[in-house]
Structure 1
Amino acid sequence: MPKTPSEPFVRARLHGPTMGTRWSVLCDLEPTVDQPALQLALAAAVQQVDQQMSPWKPDSELMRLNRAAPEEWVALPPEIMTVLTRALEVGRQSGGAFDPTVGALVDAWGFGAARDAPDAAAIRAATQATHGPAHQSLELDAAKGRARKHAPLQVDLCGIAKGYAVDRMTAVLQRHGVAHALAALDGELRALGGQADGQPWAVALESPMPGRRSAHGVLELHDLAVATSGDYRRFVQVGADRLAHTMDPRRAAPVRNDVASVTVLAPEGMSADAWATALLVAGGDHGLALAQRLGLEALFLLRRGAGLVELGLGRFDARAVGANG
């Protein structure tokens, strides 16, 4: 647990509901910071991301883009343009392992707003609706703040939007003069500085064991974001098979490989979130090679029989991660 800061800082915990989960901020504040105003500003920032990018809100900017006909330009606010730009970049760099145009597959397999169980007819339709790589099928016009699809496709930003929301929370904290904070939304976290006493923020790396919460290790953060993607938290049971919610666009089906989880460090939450998803989909061998080639800092937990094998790059070594299981 983080230590209580000495004067003149005050330890505050701010939080609220969003996106079917909760956002939270642990911060060391100077007494002059208006906590109620900060709470409202943080909630508003997260709500804006949800309102713009949620596939569950029919009036979101994302759904307006999804309803548009191919070749029709759709004006979009700068926030969603920023996320779409990064999503297409990661998609291109990952060779399609990260694909923001898998929305129809997400819905067909029961993980979207349309249904809560796999539907064979919808899966066949989504699989047959072929289009090129996302960066070719979805065109962005940054100068005019607009986008258009070159084929009937459904955009889904669930693999990157929460990381972006953490970045927006960090920006709010900075505007309010906060220099020591840890912002979190689900499995995405970003540290703003360290704690006021000079210590880094200690965060737990979750053990990828379905049905229970425990720590696999501890990571220390200072001006850094971290995100984890895995096959153990959200899934549907189909007979004897447990199908993870992350889609593998190459298989047109839920990801199924030897990766239990991938944790990625990056300067901002948006990139950490997207790359954690991409490396999970890429799998152990290809994902590790991709991360090495791009200089990513990642920790892979691979299922080997009844146990787990760690493969780490960058700061994910014995000096940075404390084993706890």
Structure 2
Amino acid sequence: MSTDILVTLNGPTMGTRWSARLASRHASPDLTAALQNAVDLVDRQMSTWRADSDLMRLNRAVQGGWVDVGAELMEVLNVSAEVTAASDGAFDIGVGEAVSAWGFGAAQGQADETAIRAAMGRRLRAQVECRPGAGRARRLNDRRLDLSGVAKGFAVDQMAKVLRGRQIPDFLASLDGEIIAHGRRPDGRPWAVALEEPDPARRAARGVIEVTDCALATSGDYRHRIQLGAAWLSHTMDPRSGAPVRNRAASVTVLAADCARADAWATALMVLGETDGPALARAKGIEAIFLIREEVGFREEATLR
């Protein structure tokens, strides 16, 4: 057991903050800078808020036109295509037009009724071709790409890559609800991760799970949402309908080997909802914790091995 104390390194990114908890002997300004550079690289390539990001250049390119993109974006496009195929389109990065139409992302709450009518009823399936050897990608249809369901998870993977590359065996890296736990705390205990109560009015822990050597990501309908008339709408888009998800799943937490896939699968299972979500998770061997709204309170359903 180490006598080191736990310290937290952190910094700004993607409208929120990243953090890394680790033993004090490993902390240094150089490590903080390396972690910041890792998440900044993801933001530069994948942000929908930056007109100069690789993603937005790809979105602006003519259909079928090749665009030079970074290796990290190429990797995320491939992970996304994998989860899209495995979830039969419950997860898809082709939801960019719907995200903006309903007032999420860079639209900042400004819904566009004309754009909503254009997006609804369309299956928003992206078609993207990648040439990793050439460092190029292109869109094969007119779908606008949005990586909000996978990019933050990938950013945590990049943080973990930095930490492992420096031979740091024990850490907890996180960005919003995306987390990688590696090794153990300095006192020898597993890392404790709080599962959030699905309450839009406050942040509170519903429970705590202890984990080591795994990634976790949570998707929910209670934190990022907008009010349209009398209804509150989740930021998660259903690619099969072009509209925000409306089912009884309040949140889904997925445990996986890497955070990008955990993030994408949490989104897919959230879209599938309280019945189809657990069914597919069991069929695919995905470890997940669902919080499902009942008439009073929530029901928890887990597909943990």
Which of the five TM-score ranges fits, normalised by the shorter chain?
Answer: over 0.9
- CA deviation string 1:235-293 (max 9, x = no partner): 00112210000001112100000100000000111111110000000111111111011
Contact 2:119 2:243 survives alignment (8 Å): no
2:2 to 3, 6, 9: 6
- State the one-letter code of the partner of 2:2: S
Unmatched segments (≥5 aa) in structure 1:
316-325
Residue 37 in 1 paired to residue 27 in 2?
Answer: no
- State the one-letter code of the partner of 1:154: R
RMSD: 1.5
1:17 to 1, 12, 19: 12
Residue 127 of structure 1: how far off its partner (Å): 3.6
Residue 192 of structure 1: how far off its partner (Å): 1.6
Q: Distance in 2 between matches of 1:106 and 1:88?
A: 19
Residue 176 of structure 1: how far off its partner (Å): 1.9
Quickly say closer, same or farther: Cα 1:73–1:109, change in 2 above 3 A. same
1:89 to 82, 86, 89: 82
- CA deviation string 1:204-223 (max 9, x = no partner): 00011121111111011111
Residue 240 in 1 paired to residue 230 in 2?
Answer: yes
Contact 2:95 2:124 survives alignment (8 Å): no
- State the one-letter code of the partner of 2:261: S
Residue 90 of structure 1: how far off its partner (Å): 0.3
Match of 2:275 in 1: 285
Residue 304 in 1 paired to residue 299 in 2?
Answer: no
Contact 1:108 1:115 survives alignment (8 Å): no
Q: Which aligned pairs between 1:116-195 and structure 2 lie closer than 5 A?
A: 116-127=109-120, 130=122, 133-134=125-126, 137-195=127-185
Q: Distance in 1 between matches of 2:185 and 2:111?
A: 45
Aligned residues: 305
Unmatched segments (≥5 aa) in structure 2:
none
Quickly say closer, same or farther: Cα 1:131–1:260, change in 2 above 3 A. closer
- State the one-letter code of the partner of 1:6: S
Q: Distance in 2 between matches of 1:257 and 1:44?
A: 38
**Displaced runs of 4+ in structure 1, greater than 3 A?**
130-133
- State the one-letter code of the partner of 1:143: G
- CA deviation string 1:172-208 (max 9, x = no partner): 1112221111001001010121113321000100011
- State the one-letter code of the partner of 1:94: S
Paired residue secondary structure (1:250): coil
Residue 18 of structure 1: how far off its partner (Å): 0.7
Q: Distance in 2 between matches of 1:245 and 1:150?
A: 26
Residue 153 of structure 1: how far off its partner (Å): 1.7
Residue 78 in 1 paired to residue 74 in 2?
Answer: no
Contact 1:131 1:151 survives alignment (8 Å): no
- How much identity, in percent, do the aligned residues show? 52
Q: Distance in 1 between matches of 2:111 and 2:273?
A: 23
Match of 1:200 in 2: 190
Residue 132 of structure 1: how far off its partner (Å): 6.9
